Amino acid sequence: MNQVKYKFLKYIKFDTKSNPESNSTPSTVKQFELAKELQKELEDLELSNIKLTDKCYLYATLPANSDKKVPAIGFIAHMDTAPDTSGENVNPQIHEDYNGEDIILNEKENIILSPKDFPELTKYKGQTIITTDGTTLLGADDKAGIASIMTAIEYLQKHPEIKHGDIKIAFTPDEEIGRGADHFDVDFFNAEFAYTIDGGEIGELEYENFNAASLSVTIAGRNVHPGTAKNQMINSINVAHEFHSMLPNIKRPEHTDGYEGFYHLMDISGTIDETKMTYIIRDHDRTKFEEMKEHVIHVAELLNKSHHKELIKLEIKDSYYNMREKIEPVMHIVDFAKQAMKDANVKPKIKPIRGGTDGSRLSYMGLPCPNIFTGGHNFHGKYEYIPLQSLEKAVEVIINITKIVHNN
């Protein structure tokens, strides 16, 4: 299990931040650097069907070592890190035998990882905690997933007494900007089902996620000198305020949890002549999700009618849907993961994802794909950390799944 630590520390040194402003795939060429390193490691392990595509998708197969007819299964993780925070020159800090108190990440900048702010830290007293130095993210999302998969595959390759069917692995780019499944070759991957190793806290097991859409709002105004503006000026900023105020306040991210959906205003910029807003719309329930989109359209129609002009134009694009619809017919694959966790003395924590993963889109592409923990916390920022023992358990769960599927 020491291998997973060294692999993780190695992989996070690669700056693989994706770029939502780019139209290329991968969105940043530097993601290839990690992909080529992983390709070399897979070749050294003598896996088969190794393929790195021109879109930076890396595939490989650990061939079956059993004559028993066993379904091919897959494990998937993404190589990019979130654009929210720098992933360059990551300098991890290793805190052995954590004492349950504040961890000073950066004394100069007074950046402290404290149980007062993150009470779940106290669960890991006595364990080894890997943190940032307070200047970058750590990259556990999802290099912890990559390290877990690579360590498990290496272990299985070195222990042929553990019988298994074909094991497929894939590492993808651009998951953090919602494009991780765009060019995924499900036919080449050729697994009956798979698991993304991309979750958080130890024990997390997820097979349902938000239905998701993006909303762009463009509001036209009319600028007139304010001294003579009566009955002439249309201030698009004020119309934008009207629009936003007509969306329910209780359906904002800061007021929701669990299965509750939300409208989230991501960006607003404007002048009197024109204002633009971008939102994301989320709900686990497909019916409620459609009703939320209809409400937005209704609000725009009301405001256009009240101003006697077509001031507001909307563009709504669905992003992904709740994978539960595709997982429920094959719930045995969730049961395999639950049992694998129990066999590793990990209590499964089944909960909905308040977001999405590559697995949600892959499930609709014909590859049912629940999500399993990596052990990390506080992804995408400088307070990110991962307990080493949780990362080791992720490796154990992957190995256990291969055993259970073979013996089922």
Q: Which of 15, 80, 174, 283 is flagged as catalytic?
A: 80
- Asked if 319 and 358 touch (Cβ cutoff 8 Å), the reply is no
Cα→Cα distances 67→95, 153, 172, 279, 407, Å: 45, 19, 31, 52, 12
Instruction: Kindly write down the DSSP assignment for every residue of 295-352, as one continuous string.
Output: HHHHHHHHHHHHHTS--EEEEEEEEE--THHHHGGGTHHHHHHHHHHHHTT---EE--
Q: Which among 284, 277, 234, 238 has a CA at the least distance from the CA of 258?
A: 284
Q: DSSP code of 116?
A: T
Q: Which of 141, 154, 174, 175 is flagged as catalytic?
A: 175
3-state secondary structure of 243: helix
Instruction: Kindly write down the DSSP assignment for every residue of 136-149, as one continuous string.
Output: S---HHHHHHHHHH
- Asked if 378 and 141 touch (Cβ cutoff 8 Å), the reply is no
3-state secondary structure of 87: coil
Instruction: Specify whether 175 is catalytic.
Output: yes
Rounded Cα–Cα distance for residues 311 and 364 (Å): 37
Other C-beta atoms lying within 10 Å of the C-beta of residue 310? 11
Q: Which positions are catalytic?
A: 80, 175
